[in-house]
Every structure is written in structure tokens, then in C-alpha cells.
Amino acid sequence: MSIPFYDGGVAAGLLSGVLFGYALEAAGFGSPRKLTAQFSLRDFSVFKVMFTAVLVSAIGLYILRSMGMMAGNAVFIPTLFFWAILAGGLLIGAGFALGGYCPGTSVVGVASGRIDAVVFGVGMVLGTSAFAWVYEPLMGFYMAGQGPAAQTLPQLFGLPEWVVLLVLVILAAVGFRLGTMMERARGGPLTAEEVCAPDDEADDLTMTAATRQA
Amino acid sequence: MREAPKPFWSPLSAGIVLGLALLLTFVITGHGLGASGFVTRFAAQANEWVAPTATAENAYFGPFMKAGNPLMSWITWEVVGVLIGAFLGAKGAGRISVKVERGPSTSSGNRLVYALIGGALVGFGARLARGCTSGVGLSGGATLAVAGFVFLIGFFAAGFAVSFLMRRVWQ
């Protein structure tokens, strides 16, 4: 058997998307308060979910390759362009902390009713357009610090893949424990009851006051 | 009063399911999951509606337009799937919540301004990084790409810094 199937059709897209969206929503990632509570150390869900997903998938790919079912270069591996990717990561982290979402989670926000996620989407289209219009003068920066094509951590450190995976599993386990301790110290993590309430109490109070005045 | 929403999954369960979905995507398509690729294609199309000639000549959007309808792509169907999957999950668990979600000391108006600015930073950043948290961070990280980990370091560093400077927004 030869995998991957390189099927880029409609059904393949819908299937991947439905699973992706369902898992993100179940994690609570339609809520910008839950997402951004990562950065006040009250809720480590972003770190925990991402790190777990990366490792499950990385170990799965490793097993498929070890069993000879998949070639080493069979899946797409992004190439490093150090400065642009670092700057892009910084901008996305900053925009996430301010705006409450990243691109994928904003789609989940829209699907679960968040009006702010729709506005965030409009902002993304504006930011993307701004990039396109300054792309030519930015080209030098965009291409700067290019690494070897499709370089991976095992190649960078000259270590066997299983050693890198083992180190990452240990780092994840330590991160989970520290994260849980910090969550408890700050009254987290945020629950569905807290972030999916029909409306905020503050709004109810404002509404009551407005009704009384009228 | 409606019934209380069902609790979220534990991060470990959600992470395992997300990881398996990502692995399945690699097996089926040869690449991982994404999101900002759709925003790029939608932005190219939106610019074409407003300024067709300039968009066709634009160095970044031009190639998308030349290849035909920019929205006819795997990533469009994937994002439609995300909308469906997230809606079904939220609906089934009573977690649909139509509102402007914000911190207790932020007004709805300010929240929407921050959402717009944050979205613009993310849109610009995703083009610089050649992908977003899903495409470069999650999917790149799963292939153990150096690019994925450089992205994640930048993402978390700026997230903590901006969150510290702007802690009034959410707390």
C-alpha cells in the first residue's frame, strides 16, 4: 500500500475540516476568553491541546514510515525562512492576544455564534490584503534566512527521530504538570458554563437599568 | 432558561482526537490542516471584486487569479468543513452562544475594535510566516519541521508579551 493518497478533492477537504472543527470546538476553542487565558496562565488548554496533537500526529507519521508504508519525503514539510517565519509568528501571537483568535479558531468562533469572530475575520482579510500590496518591497525580508529545504529537528540536531520524539514527550509531560499547577493557582481552567453563558451578567444588569429608565 | 452547556473535553482527549484528525489528513492529502490559506484566497477574490486590474497585476494575488477561481481549492472545502463540524459540536453540546465575547472591563465596541486590529495583525503575519497556527505551527510541528518550531516560539513569546501589556482587555 502506498500512502499518502494525495487526494485533494471536495470530500477529503470536508472530512478533514469537520473533524478539525469538531475537535477544536470540543476543546473550547470557539471562546476567545478561553483561548487568551493561556497567556494569563489561567488556562493551559492551547498549549496542552496543541502539544498533544503535534505529538500524536508526529508519532503516527513516524510509525507509518518505520513500517515502510510511507516514504520519508512523502508529506509536505515547510522550509524555514527564519526572519519572515519568526516575525509572522510574533505578529500572529500579538494579534491572537489582542483579537482573541487565530485563523482556524476564528472559524470555530463564527460557527458557535461569536460576533467578534466575524469582525476578526474582516480584519484578517484587510491584513492579508495589506500584505499583498507591500509584498514587493518586503520581498528581501520575506526570503531572508532561508534554511535547508524541508529541514526537520532530527536533521538540525543530528539525532535519531525517536530521540527527538522522546524529548518532546518529556517536555510535554513537564509542561502539562506545570500548566495544571498554574491553572489551579489562578482559578482556571475556564469551563463551558463560564464562557458559553447566553449573555454576560454585566449585560443583564445594563439591560435591567435601561428598562427601568424607559 | 436553557440547559447548561455540556463541559468541554479534557485537553488530553481533544488533543488526541485533533492529532488523529491531523494524521488522517496527512494520509489522505499528503499535507496537514490549515486555515489562513482560505483567507488568502478569499482576500484575493475580494480585491478582484474591488480592483480587478490592479489585483491581476499584483505580485502576490496575481498568480492566484491567473490560476482561475482562487476559491476553488481543497482549503475552501476544509474551512467549510470546520464551520460544519464546529457548529454540529457546539449545537449538540448546547455551546452555541451568540454574543460579543469580551473581558469584564471591556465594552462591546472596544472589543470589536480589538478584534479588527488583532485580525489584521494575524492576517498580515500569516502571509509573512507562509501559514498560521494550524498550517505552520500545528501541521509543521507534526512533521518536526524546524520552521514549525521557530513559528511556535515567536507565537507564544509575542502572545505572553502582548497579553501582559494589554491585560485589561481580557481580565
pLDDT band per the 50, 70, 90 thresholds, residue A92 = very high
Shortest Cα–Cα distance, B56 to chain A (Å) = 12
At B129 the three-state DSSP class reads coil
User: What percentage of chain B's residues is helix, strand, coil (to nearest 5)?
Assistant: 70, 0, 30
pLDDT band per the 50, 70, 90 thresholds, residue A23 = very high
**Chain centroid to CA A28:** 12
pLDDT of residue B114: 97
pLDDT of residue A73: 83
Q: Is the pLDDT of residue A169 over 90?
A: yes
Is any Cβ of chain B less than 8 angstroms from the Cβ of A156? yes
pLDDT of residue B3: 74
pTM: 0.94
Q: Do A128 and B123 touch (CB under 8 A)?
A: yes
Q: Do A19 and B19 touch (CB under 8 A)?
A: no
Q: Is the pLDDT of residue A25 over 60?
A: yes
pLDDT of residue B168: 86
Q: What percent of chain A has pLDDT over 70?
A: 92
Distance CA A213, CA A209 (A): 6
Average per-residue pLDDT for chain A: 92
Q: Is the pLDDT of residue A209 over 80?
A: no
Longest dimension (CA), chain B: 55
pLDDT of residue A214: 42
pLDDT of residue B98: 95
Closest-CA residue of A relative to B151 is A89
pLDDT of residue A199: 58
Closest-CA residue of A relative to B123 is A124
Q: Is the pLDDT of residue A131 over 50?
A: yes
Is any Cβ of chain A less than 8 angstroms from the Cβ of B63? no
Is any Cβ of chain B less than 8 angstroms from the Cβ of A80? yes
The string of pLDDT tens digits covering residues A63-88 is 999 999 998 889 999 999 999 999 99
How much is the average pLDDT of A98-102? 97
Q: Which of A17-21, A72-76, A96-100 has the lowest mean pLDDT?
A: A72-76
Burial (CB < 10 A; 0-12, 13-18, 19+), residue B84, is: middle
Beta bridge partners of A114: B99
Q: Which among A61, A129, A194 is the top mutation candidate for probing chain B, defined by the most B β-carbons within 10 Å of its own β-carbon?
A: A129
pLDDT of residue A198: 67
Q: Which among B1, B8, B57, B132 is the top mutation candidate for probing chain A, defined by the most A β-carbons within 10 Å of its own β-carbon?
A: B8
How much is the average pLDDT of A31-42? 96
Q: Is the pLDDT of residue A210 over 60?
A: no
List chain B residues with pLDDT less than 70: 1-2
Distance CA B154, CA A63 (A): 29
pLDDT of residue A211: 46
pLDDT band per the 50, 70, 90 thresholds, residue A213 = very low
The string of pLDDT tens digits covering residues B43-53 is 999 999 999 99
How much is the average pLDDT of A30-42? 96
Q: Which among A6, A40, A50 is the top mutation candidate for probing chain B, defined by the most B β-carbons within 10 Å of its own β-carbon?
A: A50
Is any Cβ of chain A less than 8 angstroms from the Cβ of B30? yes
Q: Do B121 and A80 touch (CB under 8 A)?
A: no
Distance CA A14, CA A20 (A): 10
pLDDT of residue B171: 79
